[in-house]
């Protein structure tokens, strides 16, 4: 992985799906590192599209549970992943709305339970494979900010800017707690810390696409950085990598 500010050799190579023209920023990292928040703000400031890949895993797990699938039914979840009927939308005020098979599930997929279920289906190779083409299809002009665990390693290996955003486990648990409380959801800090540790362990130790920085990712530790400071850092790196957007 590159040190902060170090340039990488990513020239105009074709992306894994053959596109050469769309600028892509990948933001990977563990649960609660602030990836989602940062990716959303950066995408909005640049006027680019945004891929929240974690939402796709959450949706697959939710659809599986709703259909009564056993949590370890890989074939069943893979089928769902391939045919997922989902619409991402946003209110004029930026509030996200996600529709699964015509039913709004925006709040349901954001619970810790949905996150843990997502982490379990995300360990299934055929589920990951089933979501690959759908994720790559988000690479549309004028650009894409993709948030997840394997955006820079597997889904968009030729992205020109790869960020690996991290923070201490304690800080991540605190942020998650605040996020849930702000949404009016119940939360317990000690339980959240344990859940985050378990999710980190599962996401980092799985055989396929484990959570790890791409070799050419820039690691940003946001433990003692404000959201604004992280956004500024990513935009500064983006301006250097994508000069036409300056």
Residues in contact with ligand DC by CB under 6 A are 31, 53-54, 57-58, 115, 118-119, 122, 148-150, 199, 203
Minimum CB separation of residue 53 from ligand DC in Å reads 4
Minimum CB separation of residue 20 from ligand DC in Å reads 23
Q: Which residue is nearest to ligand DC (CB)?
A: 54
Structure tokens that stand for 213 in this block: 């920085």
User: In this complex, which beta carbon is closest to ligand DC, that of residue 34 or of residue 143?
Assistant: 34
Minimum CB separation of residue 176 from ligand DC in Å reads 9
How far apart are the C-alpha atoms of 116 and 225, rounded to whole Å?
27
User: In this complex, which beta carbon is closest to ligand DC, that of residue 9 or of residue 186?
Assistant: 186
- Helix, strand, coil abundance in the chain, percent, nearest 5: 45, 15, 40
Neighbours of 88 (CB within 10 A): 17
User: In this complex, which beta carbon is closest to ligand DC, that of residue 187 or of residue 245?
Assistant: 187
Which distant-in-sequence residues (6+ apart) come within 8 Å of 181 by Cβ?
A: 187
User: In this complex, which beta carbon is closest to ligand DC, that of residue 47 or of residue 58?
Assistant: 58
Minimum CB separation of residue 118 from ligand DC in Å reads 4
Query: Residue 197 burial (CB < 10 Å; 0-12/13-18/19+)?
Result: middle
């Amino acid at each position: 992985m590159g040190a902060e500010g170090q340039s990488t050799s990513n020239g105009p190579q074709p992306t894994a799906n053959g596109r050469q023209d769309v600028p892509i920023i990948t933001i990977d990292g563990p649960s609660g590192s602030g990836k989602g928040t940062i990716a959303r703000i950066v995408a909005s400031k640049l006027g680019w599209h945004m891929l929240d890949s974690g939402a796709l895993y959450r949706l697959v797990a939710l659809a599986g549970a709703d259909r009564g699938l056993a949590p370890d039914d890989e074939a069943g979840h893979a089928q769902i992943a391939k045919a997922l009927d989902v619409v991402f939308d946003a209110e004029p005020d930026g509030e996200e709305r996600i529709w699964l098979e015509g039913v709004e599930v925006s709040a349901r997929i954001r619970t810790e339970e949905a996150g843990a279920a997502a982490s379990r289906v995300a360990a299934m190779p055929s589920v990951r494979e089933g979501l690959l083409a759908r994720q790559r299809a988000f690479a549309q002009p004028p650009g894409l900010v993709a948030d997840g665990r394997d955006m820079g390693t597997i889904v968009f290996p030729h992205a020109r800017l790869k960020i690996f955003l991290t923070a201490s486990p304690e800080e991540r648990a605190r942020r998650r707690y605040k996020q849930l409380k702000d949404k009016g959801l119940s939360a317990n800090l000690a339980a959240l810390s344990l859940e985050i540790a378990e999710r980190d362990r599962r996401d980092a130790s799985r055989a396929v696409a484990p959570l790890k920085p791409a070799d050419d990712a820039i690691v940003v530790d946001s433990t003692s950085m404000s959201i604004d400071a992280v956004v500024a850092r990513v935009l500064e790196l983006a301006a250097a990598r994508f000069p036409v957007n300056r």
